[in-house]
């Protein structure tokens, strides 16, 4: 597959990088107020993160890093009642599982990023897990890919999975990027083994991060046309990957700089049914919408750092829209302006 490697210095040379306009609802006084969806501390879960929609359910990954328990997949329907789907298996070498992004693929199975370095277990140990589903129930979990450095966000289009690997192990410049797997090559009997970086043919695009926060490729999502959008967390820029008819990469370049709208970071990313992307601004403690048609950026909700006990945003890492509601995972980590605390929550924003 054709690969694209573009440094952040190219940003200044890309015409039309910023979308058609920026809208800061904080300045306009039109911010939405999140309310409490789940007090997870009372339910035995911590550190909610990745989400996806499938057959009317919102699926959620409970990372559970703070509790020391294995990550779990949960879901809820429109009645907003949580139910467990499955507990994920620990890594045989580290004894832990540290799940982040999740997505359902065209084969009807759920794919999960197990980011071992997120739990300080080292680079090169991250895995892609497949939760085999049948009639809405999880039958088993299989390891289908190994060797990623920091498997973070995950999305799919057609017969391919696209994963944001947040760290290639370089420092100057700090690089990260995207790897891709065909569903047909993923086997529990013979998992794909990769080595993070553009020398591996599974890696199809990369960029550098030069901002205050050296965190690279993070959230990732595909739009209705099959373009893959990637969050550069630290540079606060969305990158767009476009494809030829055979799904080889046509171009990978900066698309929208979200900083002029007051956004401070780009964490998880989801595409909704109305033609917009939704991202969590972890550093800025905000939820942001970006219109796919023109790149208009809008801060929808934002509040000062706190503990999230009343439903306020508290270190949000992922958000997803279903109907007129946006569900938010507050991952509750000590990083940037945030301090982890015993309160672990999910918020909901009524549009």
Average pLDDT, rounded, for the chain: 93
Maximum pairwise Cα distance, the chain: 56
| Confidence (pLDDT) at 285 | 98
pLDDT in tens, 36-71: 999 999 999 999 999 999 999 999 999 999 999 999
Name the pLDDT band for 296 (thresholds 50, 70, 90). very high
Cα separation, 47 vs 25, whole angstroms? 28
pLDDT band at 245 (very low <50, low <70, confident <90, very high): very high
Between 291 and 29, the more confident residue is 291
With CA atoms as reference, report the closest residue to 303 among 324, 278, 318, 286: 286
Average pLDDT over residues 200-211: 97
Instruction: Tell whether the model's pLDDT for residue 15 goes beyond 60.
Output: no
Of the two residues 2 and 24, the one the predictor is more confident about is 24
Query: pLDDT tens across 75-87, in order?
Result: 999 999 999 999 9
Residue 25 confidence (pLDDT)? 52
Return the percentage of the chain with pLDDT > 90, whole number. 91
Instruction: At 261, give phi and psi (nearest 5°).
Output: -85, 0
User: In the predicted model, what is the mean pLDDT of residues 239-250?
Assistant: 97
pLDDT score of 12: 36
User: What is the pLDDT at residue 5?
Assistant: 41
d(CA 254, CA 293): 15
pLDDT > 70 in the chain, percent: 92
d(CA 145, CA 194): 8
pLDDT at position 222 is: 98
Q: Tell me: the pLDDT tens digits for 168-188?
A: 999 999 999 999 999 999 999
Q: pLDDT at position 51, please? A: 98
At 3, the pLDDT band (50, 70, 90 cuts) reads very low
Q: Where are the beta strands (DSSP E) in 135-243?
A: 137-148, 151-157, 160-165, 174-182, 192-193, 203-209, 217-222, 228-232, 237-243
Q: How confident is the model at residue 4 (pLDDT cuts 50, 70, 90)?
A: very low
* pTM for this prediction: 0.93
Q: How far apart are CA 349 and CA 328, in angstroms?
A: 8
* Long-range contacts of 187-191, Cβ-Cβ distance < 8 Å, separation of 24 or more: 187/144, 188/130, 188/142, 188/143, 188/144, 191/127, 191/143, 191/144, 191/145, 191/146
Going along the chain from its start, the domains and CATH numbers come out as 18-350 (2.120.10.30)
Q: Is the pLDDT of residue 128 over 70?
A: yes
* Cα 206 from Cα 181, distance rounded (Å): 16
What number is the average pLDDT over the span 144-155? 98
């Amino acid at each position: 597959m054709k690969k694209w490697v573009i440094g952040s210095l190219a940003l200044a040379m890309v015409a039309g990088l910023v979308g058609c306009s920026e809208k800061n609802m904080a300045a306009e006084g039109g911010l939405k107020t999140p309310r409490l969806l789940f007090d997870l501390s009372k339910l035995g879960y911590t550190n909610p993160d990745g989400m996806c929609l499938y057959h009317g359910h919102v699926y959620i990954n409970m990372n559970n890093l703070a509790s020391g328990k294995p990550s779990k997949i949960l879901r809820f329907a429109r009645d907003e009642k949580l139910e467990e789907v499955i507990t994920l298996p620990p890594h045989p070498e580290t004894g832990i599982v540290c799940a982040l992004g999740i997505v359902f693929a065209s084969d009807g199975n759920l794919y999960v990023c197990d980011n071992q370095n997120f739990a300080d277990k080292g680079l090169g140990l991250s895995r892609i897990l497949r939760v085999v589903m049948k009639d809405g129930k999880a039958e088993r979990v299989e390891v289908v890919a190994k060797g990623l450095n920091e498997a973070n966000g995950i999305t799919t289009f057609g017969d391919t999975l696209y994963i944001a690997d947040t760290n290639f192990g370089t420092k100057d410049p700090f690089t990260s990027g995207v790897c891709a797997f065909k569903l047909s090559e993923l086997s529990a009997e013979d998992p794909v083994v990769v080595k993070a970086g553009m020398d591996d043919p599974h890696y199809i695009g990369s960029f550098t991060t030069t901002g205050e926060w050296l965190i690279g490729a993070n959230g990732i999502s595909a739009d209705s046309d099959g373009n893959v959008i990637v969050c550069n967390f630290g540079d606060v820029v969305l990158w767009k990957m476009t494809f030829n008819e055979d799904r080889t990469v046509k171009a990978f370049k900066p698309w929208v700089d979200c900083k002029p709208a007051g956004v401070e970071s780009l964490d998880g990313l989801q595409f909704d049914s109305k033609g917009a992307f939704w991202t969590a601004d972890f550093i800025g403690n905000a939820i942001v919408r970006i219109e796919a048609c023109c790149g208009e950026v809008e801060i929808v909700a934002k509040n000062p750092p706190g503990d999230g006990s009343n439903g306020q945003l508290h270190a949000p890492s992922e958000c997803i829209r279903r109907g007129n509601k946006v569900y938010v995972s507050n991952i509750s980590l000590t990083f940037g302006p945030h301090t982890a605390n015993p309160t672990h929550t999910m918020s909901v924003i009524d549009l």
